[in-house]
Structure 1
Amino acid sequence: QAELDEERERQRQEERATLERQRRDRDRKGITGGKRLTDAEWDKLEMLLRSVNKSRCTVLEAMAYCLDKSDWAIEITECITESLTILETDIPLKLARLMIVSDILHNTASSRPAAWAYRREFERSLPDIFEHMNLALARDDSRLQADRAREQALRLLHIWEDWGLFAPQYLRGLEAALVVGVKRLRTLAAKGDSSREPQWLEPKLADWRRQHFSQLEKQCRTRGLRSSTAHLEGTKELSLEEARKEWLIDRLVAYELHGHDKEQARLTSGGSSSLLGLKARLSSEDLDGEAIECDLDGFPFDETELDGEPIGLDELSELAAVVEVARFTPDAGAPRRDLGA
């Protein structure tokens, strides 16, 4: 628990530093998606994120709002990312918000002005989201809920692979962040655990340690791993550059370990070599809208469940009436919560 609390505080500091850097960058003129939201628009967006649930119409409404506001993509992405990186947020709510991200990404190639900016912005923030998801699942009291949530997030990555949204190694990094998290070599060494530093990894470790941290940042970025080290500071034990290199190498180690473990499992089982290794375990029905028997809290999904299938822009007019009904007939049993609830 102490390690989780420490990581939680560290992550908050990192998020503050990242947001400040992004605000400074956005002040540069001419950035697509860099317009500022008004207070009323912020309130509307936060309301949509608070009220999203397992019903497809709530995801549709949030996605449509975001695409209509694509000129404001940077601030909207920041808000969604913040809502997905609050440890106290319930896991089912995190997954529903992740579905919003997925549907936005599916429609970034649409004719909506500046819609492509969402892909650019989420490509930067998804590593933070998935690394945070690993922490949130680790502290969840329900192991069954955590396992199911992890499977649903992995299924989303598999769908993104099929869509060709991102490079395969980028998606592998998101998967490693979700499944493995971060492997801190300094912590492992202090505990005398040498089992996680296999001999085959030693040449890569030596090569990484010879490189400048800026080169390691680029490698992490292309691999879908967190890469910004602006929040770090030097200590008595480590200079600033050494601290940055160690932080980045820890994430590269997790990436390599997860890839190695998956390859060994594939060779042992003789299974598929697909990116996420899910094709052998998930039938096509799992990905094409076939109903899942129960959701994460044990109750049946609504008829308009979240099945991972994207909501396209051509469905907006067809479902507009449904959205209007949903907007004015809230679930009486659903308490009103803060953004991070």
Structure 2
Amino acid sequence: SRHKVERKDDSHSAAKGGERLGSEDRDTLEEHLRDITRQRESVKNAMVFCMSHANCSAEIALCLYEALTLAETNLDSKLARLYLLSDILFNSSAPTPSAWSYRASLEKYLPRIFLHWTQMFCGNSTERESEQKDAANGEAEEEIRRRERKQKYQIRRLLKRLLRIWTGWAVYSPAFLQ
């Protein structure tokens, strides 16, 4: 079969999301994560792939975590990946076999994902700001700072909104999402 899944010996492995993707499916996942955009169709296609491979949720969650925390990735790609994570969480209550396993698979990475995003986009200063400030002066420097403040504000709003949405879905306890 073209999309063969490598099986572990544990018979409960699939139900828990612990199977491994075959090499072609791993390539497809990496392609989805690399090429994803914020367009609905792009996020949907990646989400459908992930849900149809929920028996491999642990591996997919790790790949998504790594993709969401790469420092060199542009903001649009990171946002698209964050939308994918949110869609996966929403669909983790679907009757799809093993879909529920995404909650546990992603839960262990969420604190590190949010820490990365907070440090990258919501802190007082980032390496990117310092580099841009060194390269700019006068009005150009002020314009850069204004755009960065606006971007940080928008990212903070997005992260807070996602946490409220996930609380409403009862994906995780409010205490965990704090």
- Is the TM value for this pair above 0.5? yes
- 3-state SS of the aligned residue for 1:150? helix
Tell me the CA shift for residue 41 of structure 1: 1.0
Q: Does 1:102 align with 2:108?
A: no
Tell me the CA shift for residue 82 of structure 1: 0.5
Structure 2 match to 1:59: 43
CA distance in 1, matches of 2:157, 2:80: 14
CA distance in 2, matches of 1:90, 1:34: 30
CA distance in 2, matches of 1:162, 1:109: 13
Structure 2 match to 1:71: 55
TM-score in terms of structure 1 length:
0.41
Aligned residues: 146
List alignment gaps of at least 5 residues for structure 1: 1-26, 173-341
- The correspondence of residues 67-146 of structure 1 with structure 2, limited to 5 A, is 67-137=51-121, 138=123, 139=126, 140-141=128-129, 142-146=148-152
Q: Which one has more relative contact order, counting CA pairs under 8 Å at least 6 apart?
A: 1
Q: Percent identity?
A: 37
CA distance in 1, matches of 2:159, 2:75: 11
Q: Does 1:153 align with 2:137?
A: no
Tell me the CA shift for residue 148 of structure 1: 0.9
Q: Does 1:49 align with 2:33?
A: yes
Query: Alpha-carbon deviations, 1:238-290, whole Å to 9, x = none?
Result: xxxxxxxxxxxxxxxxxxxxxxxxxxxxxxxxxxxxxxxxxxxxxxxxxxxxx
Tell me the CA shift for residue 28 of structure 1: 7.7
Q: Greater helix percent: which structure?
A: 2
**Structure possessing the higher radius of gyration over alpha carbons:** 1
Q: Does 1:168 align with 2:174?
A: yes
CA distance in 1, matches of 2:115, 2:35: 24
CA distance in 2, matches of 1:56, 1:85: 22
- 3-state SS of the aligned residue for 2:108? helix
CA distance in 1, matches of 2:99, 2:67: 21
Q: Which moved more, 1:91-100 or 1:77-86?
A: 91-100
* Structure 1 consecutive aligned stretches of length 4 or more whose deviation exceeds 6 Å: none
- The correspondence of residues 246-261 of structure 1 with structure 2, limited to 5 A, is none
List alignment gaps of at least 5 residues for structure 2: 1-7, 130-147
CA distance in 2, matches of 1:108, 1:129: 19
Q: How large is the Cα RMSD of the aligned pairs?
A: 1.5
Aligned-partner residue type, residue 126 of structure 1: L
CA distance in 2, matches of 1:46, 1:145: 27
Kept in 1: contact 2:92–2:100 (CA 8 A)? yes
Tell me the CA shift for residue 62 of structure 1: 0.5
- 3-state SS of the aligned residue for 1:127? helix
Query: Alpha-carbon deviations, 1:98-118, whole Å to 9, x = none?
Result: 110111111111111100000
Query: Alpha-carbon deviations, 1:155-194, whole Å to 9, x = none?
Result: 111111111111111111xxxxxxxxxxxxxxxxxxxxxx
Structure 1 match to 2:137: none
CA distance in 1, matches of 2:29, 2:103: 18
Aligned-partner residue type, residue 117 of structure 2: M
CA distance in 1, matches of 2:154, 2:18: 36
Tell me the CA shift for residue 39 of structure 1: 1.6
Tell me the CA shift for residue 91 of structure 1: 2.1
Kept in 2: contact 1:108–1:116 (CA 8 A)? yes
Tell me the CA shift for residue 88 of structure 1: 1.5
TM-score in terms of structure 2 length:
0.77
CA distance in 2, matches of 1:108, 1:145: 30
Kept in 1: contact 2:38–2:83 (CA 8 A)? no
